[in-house]
Amino acid sequence: MTRNAPSKKLSGAEVAMHNSKDSCWVIVHGKAYDVTEFLPEHPGGQKIILKYAGKDATEEFDPIHPPDTLEKYLDGSKHLGEVDMSTVEREEKATDPEEGERQKMIQSKPDLEQCFNLTDFEAVARRVMKKTAWAYYSSGADDEITMRENHAAFHRIWFRPRILRNVEHIDLSTTMIGTPVSIPFYVTATALGKLGHPEGEVVLTRAAHTHQVVQMIPTLASCSFDEIVDARQGDQVQWLQLYVNKNRAITKKIVQHAEARGCKGLFITVDAPQLGRREKDMRSKFSDVGSSVQNSSGDNVDRSQGAARAISSFIDPALSWDDIPWFRSITKMPILLKGVQRKEDVLKAIEAEVDGVVLSNHGGRQLDTAPSGIEVLAEVMPELRARGLYPRPPGAPRFEIFIDGGVRRATDIIKAICLGATGVGIGRPFLYAMSAYGEAGVGRAMQLLKDEMEMGMRLIGARSIAELNPELVDTRGLAAGHTSIPRDMLSENVYDSLRQPLWKSKL
């Protein structure tokens, strides 16, 4: 049944009658939609929609669908009109024991002032986030070796501090691809911001403005690109992270729109021709939609791959070095490759005349046992110096090197800058701070990094970013591989171990 331009609002009871696969209506943002015919085509599978048949699906729908999804994919005749939300029965959340437990955790979460470092936000987020959201943010690929190594690798680099250097005044400011910043880190691109916070990525935009930090906007944001740009204030700078679409016309449109809206850098993700298998995410997803034994809906879509698999099916695995000139031809924004993982590819990137690279393994979410960004940096920089490619010779085109992955302390940032990075990207910590405490949390996380960095610079005897150099760090531990180091209890205690499959309850 469909109704066009209804004169009066639908009641909750009317919608609730359409609660099966034979007639399935759902409410999203106060409007009802008839998805009966759409069910078998739904890229997220039928089961998830059927769970909300006859009900309000907004909370589940919002974080994982861009705002224009309904207009784009659901025929206008299936848009049934407004619902009188005062007549819609509220689901009693506390009936789900896990949700009840989570609500209790939210009530008793530590005051924001009790978070003294970035790992503290992770510890709180782990308890207060929805299970599926936590699984999506915290997961890494396969055995999560790379994800953990990203953080651990920093501990194999030690400082060689200088003393008696008159460190009264410390200046953390620098520039990143031409943009002045207050401190050399940026908020890197992380998809699906609304999983962690109902307002999504704009929360990060606001905090980044307050702290004069650059934000990289993800292709797969929950907010629309324009919403995130509209949230920008003053001369705040944003970059675009790009997943390249098989349909290059779409990619061209995205890139040129971003440039027209003032984005100052294009970061093409090159480490994700296929999304990694993130098992925590897959497991949480699986239990959320019910086991296959309960699958009576005839749903043939494999939904076991976890959040983001379906929404990323457009990414082009055929992307190659040959495409770089085309990107140059469609934009004047600086172009950087995000996800470079070996020295040889850095050299190729210089040859290809891109503006830089991010040494990154996608936060350990792609190829497990790929090396950490900081380790690749330590390998690359001596080679570039030996070849006279760094520092850049006079007249040579710009080439800046960033790293991301596992940065949790300002000492990690300092180590990267000492080795030759222009700046570092930080992903999960800001997501966790946002999920647990909103904008104030992200702001505090940024301030903590600034405080830590000022102290760290003083204690190693460097007054400005320009004074950080390789002579201040000892990287022999990297060459020695996995030497024994004191265990990092903060991070180990919060680390959420991979789990085995759940046993069926006894019959």
Ligand X SMILES: Cc1cc2nc3c(=O)[nH]c(=O)nc-3n(C[C@H](O)[C@H](O)[C@H](O)COP(=O)(O)O)c2cc1C
Active site residues: 243, 271, 362
Taking the complex as a whole, the smallest distance from the CB of residue 309 to ligand HEM amounts, in Å, to 5
Q: Cβ contacts of residue 149 below 8 Å, gap of 6+? A: 364, 371, 372, 406
Q: Any contact of residue 427 with ligand X (CB under 6 A)?
A: yes
Q: Any contact of residue 406 with ligand X (CB under 6 A)?
A: yes
Q: Rg of the Cα trace of the chain?
A: 24
Taking the complex as a whole, the smallest distance from the CB of residue 242 to ligand X amounts, in Å, to 8
CA 169, 441, 432, 42 dihedral sign is: negative
CA distances from 447 to 211, 410, 433, 441, 474 (A): 8, 11, 12, 10, 27
CA 179, 185, 186, 189 dihedral sign is: positive
Taking the complex as a whole, the smallest distance from the CB of residue 191 to ligand X amounts, in Å, to 4
For strands 25-28 and 31-34, give the pairing.
antiparallel
Nearer to ligand X by C-beta: 194 or 444? 194
Give the total of residues touching ligand X (CB under 6 A). Answer: 24
The pair of structure tokens assigned to 365 is: 């979410």
Q: Any contact of residue 415 with ligand HEM (CB under 6 A)?
A: no
List the end-to-end C-alpha distance of the chain, in Å, as a whole number. 42
Span 269-298, contacts to ligand X by CB under 6 A:
269
Q: Any contact of residue 416 with ligand X (CB under 6 A)?
A: no
Residue 352 DSSP symbol: T
Residue 426 touches which member of ligand HEM, ligand X, none, C-beta under 5-8 Å by kind? ligand X
The span of 22-30, 97-105, 377-385, 402-410 binding ligand X (CB under 6 A) equals 402-410
Residue 148 in contact with residue 364, Cβ under 8 Å?
yes
Residue 26 touches which member of ligand HEM, ligand X, none, C-beta under 5-8 Å by kind? ligand HEM
Which residue pairs from 491-495 have beta carbons closer than 8 angstroms and sit at least 24 positions apart in sequence?
A: 491/119, 491/151, 491/408, 493/123, 494/119, 494/122, 494/123, 494/126, 495/148
Residue 189 touches which member of ligand X, ligand HEM, none, C-beta under 5-8 Å by kind? ligand X
Distance CA 10, CA 7 (A): 9
Shortest CA distance to 131 belongs to which of 92, 91, 98, 95?
98
Residue 54 touches which member of ligand X, ligand HEM, none, C-beta under 5-8 Å by kind? none
Nearer to ligand X by C-beta: 243 or 399? 243
Nearer to ligand X by C-beta: 145 or 459? 145
The pair of structure tokens assigned to 361 is: 């393994």
Is residue 359 helix, strand or coil?
strand
Position 287, amino acid: S
Residue 407 touches which member of ligand X, ligand HEM, none, C-beta under 5-8 Å by kind? ligand X
When binding is defined by CB under 6 A, the residue of 15, 24, 32, 74 that contacts ligand HEM is: 74
Residue 427 touches which member of ligand X, ligand HEM, none, C-beta under 5-8 Å by kind? ligand X
When binding is defined by CB under 6 A, the residue of 18, 21, 42, 428 that contacts ligand HEM is: 42
Taking the complex as a whole, the smallest distance from the CB of residue 407 to ligand X amounts, in Å, to 6
Span 353-392, contacts to ligand X by CB under 6 A:
360, 362-363, 365
Distance CA 151, CA 145 (A): 10
Q: Any contact of residue 49 with ligand HEM (CB under 6 A)?
A: yes
Query: Which residues in 274-420 belong to E strands, given as ranges?
Result: 335-340, 356-359, 400-404
Residue 425 in contact with residue 404, Cβ under 8 Å?
yes
Nearer to ligand X by C-beta: 145 or 170? 145
Residue 157 touches which member of ligand X, ligand HEM, none, C-beta under 5-8 Å by kind? none
Which residues contribute to the site for ligand X (CB under 6 A)?
136-137, 150, 188-191, 218, 220, 241, 269, 338, 360, 362-363, 365, 404-407, 425-428
Which residues contribute to the site for ligand HEM (CB under 6 A)?
26, 28, 33, 35, 42-44, 48-49, 52, 57, 60-61, 64-65, 69-70, 73-74, 307, 309-311, 313
